[in-house]
Amino acid sequence: MSTLLDVKNIAKRFTVSRGLGAKPATVHAVDDVSFTISHGETLGLVGESGCGKSTVGKMIVRLLEPDEGEVMLAGEPISHLSHRAMRPFRRKVQMVFQDPNGSLDPRQRAGDIVEEPLVVHGIGNAAERRARVENLFSRVGLRPDQMTNVPSKFSGGQRQRLAIARALALNPSLIVADEPVSALDVSIQAQVINLMSDIQREFGLAYLFVAHDLGVVQHISDRVAVMYLGRIVEIGDTSSVYLRPSHPYTHTLMDAVPRPDPARRHHRPAIARGEVPSPLNPPSGCAFHPRCPMATYICRQERPLLRRVASGAEVACHHAE
């Protein structure tokens, strides 16, 4: 598989006010993050709230510009392109959000919502576009007669199908999906996950699947990256990261997820201590060291870099083997 997306050392800093008279502080929301995604591949990006995973997604679709580093799409650097120069690349990268209500115009009719990207990019004439929209509707499991409805006439699951149809309109190579099923009822989630898998096969799509739900990510991802306080701490094949986690944080995360297994009521793994530190004041060295059972002197002094370990994953830990 050839590389579609190459993210190189991107960083994003935000300035936050600390109240009257206090000097504003800088938060490193994302720091030195690199990864690649191949054609047709799914990379899951996981981590707890505030770890920077959504910020990474936004930098890839250019909702945010990285302060450092570069995003390469099909070999071209796109992070600092002008609006106009970005156009051909916009077609290739689309985004699906957690809350379809926030991303769908409530007054627009569903058919127009899906057609809009085609109009903006000057694709086809009215009849061709309509045929394409009809086609997309049936592809995502909506009925063509629903094209005249406004979003409020749709259920949550149907609205997410609509958002997926719009994302598909321009035949993208990559979809950045930020928590695409977490707002849906549990009995609806499987429908949308299956739809995403089906269209991936059919259109050869690659996904950056950003989510906090580790079960969903394990199901859908070829590879997984785990973030902690703005950095990737482990990245590798899904089975390496889930079944043989090498970073102590990944371990903690996997142990903490509840399983549908009543036997675990009586044999539960040990629970991580402490809380995620404030990104305003991150710990020295390895950001996980205050919570890490393996931490030693070097972990407080030196930030570990990603390196390949026995499981095959790349891990940022001084003590991983």
Partner 1 sequence: MTPLLSIEGLTVELSTGDRNFEAVSDITLAVARNEVLALVGESGSGKSMTAMAIMRLLPEPVADIVAGTILFDGIDLASASEAALRGIRGNRIGLIFQEPMTSLNPSIRVGPQVAEVLRLHKGLDAVNARRRVEQLFEQVRIPDPRRRYDDYPHQMSGGMRQRVVIALALACDPDVLIADEPTTALDVTTQAQILETFRDLQASVGAATILITHDLAVVAETADRIAVMYAGRIVEETTTEQLFASPRHPYTHGLLGSIPHVADTDATRRGDRLPEIAGTVPALWALPPGCAFEPRCPRASDRCLSERPPLAELAPGHKTACWHPVETAA
Among 197, 282, 283, 303, binds partner 1 (CB under 8 A): 197
**x-or-dash string of contact with partner 1, 157-186, rule CB under 8 A:** xx--------------------------xx
Question: β-strand 206-210 against 174-178: which pairing, if any?
Answer: parallel
């199908």: which residue's tokens? 161
Phi, psi of 69 (to 5 degrees): 85, -175
Among 104, 140, 216, 320, binds partner 1 (CB under 8 A): 216
Among 214, 227, 313, 320, binds partner 1 (CB under 8 A): 214
For residue 316, the Cα-to-chain-centroid distance in whole angstroms is: 20
Among 25, 86, 123, 276, binds partner 1 (CB under 8 A): 276
Those residues whose C-beta lies under 8 Å from the C-beta of residue 206, and which sit 6 or more positions away, are 4, 5, 37, 38, 39, 40, 41, 42, 43, 173, 174, 175
Question: Min. distance of Cβ 276 from partner 1 in angstroms?
Answer: 7
Question: Min. distance of Cβ 83 from partner 1 in angstroms?
Answer: 36
Among 155, 171, 296, 301, binds partner 1 (CB under 8 A): 155
8/161 Cα distance (integer angstroms): 32
- Phi/psi-derived region of residue 96, left when phi > 0, alpha when psi is between -120 and 50, beta in every other case: beta
Q: Which CB sits closer to partner 1, 71 or 295?
A: 295
- The interface with partner 1 within residues 242-261 (CB under 8 A) comprises 242-243, 252-261
Q: Which CB sits closer to partner 1, 56 or 73?
A: 56
């609205």: which residue's tokens? 159
125/115 Cα distance (integer angstroms): 11
Asked if 281 is part of the footprint of partner 1 (rule: CB under 8 A), the reply reads no
Question: Min. distance of Cβ 76 from partner 1 in angstroms?
Answer: 29
Asked if 189 is part of the footprint of partner 1 (rule: CB under 8 A), the reply reads yes
The residues with which 210 forms a beta bridge, in sequence order, are: 45, 178
User: How many residues sit in the footprint of partner 1 (CB under 8 A)?
Assistant: 49
Closest CA to 302 of 284, 315, 277, 320: 284
Segment lying near partner 1 (by CB under 8 A), choices 60-68, 117-125, 145-153, 262-270:
262-270
Look up residue 321 and give its DSSP letter. Answer: -
Contacts with partner 1 by CB under 8 A lie at: 48-49, 155, 157-158, 185-191, 193-194, 197-198, 200-201, 212, 214-216, 218-222, 238-239, 242-243, 252-262, 264-265, 268, 271-272, 275-276
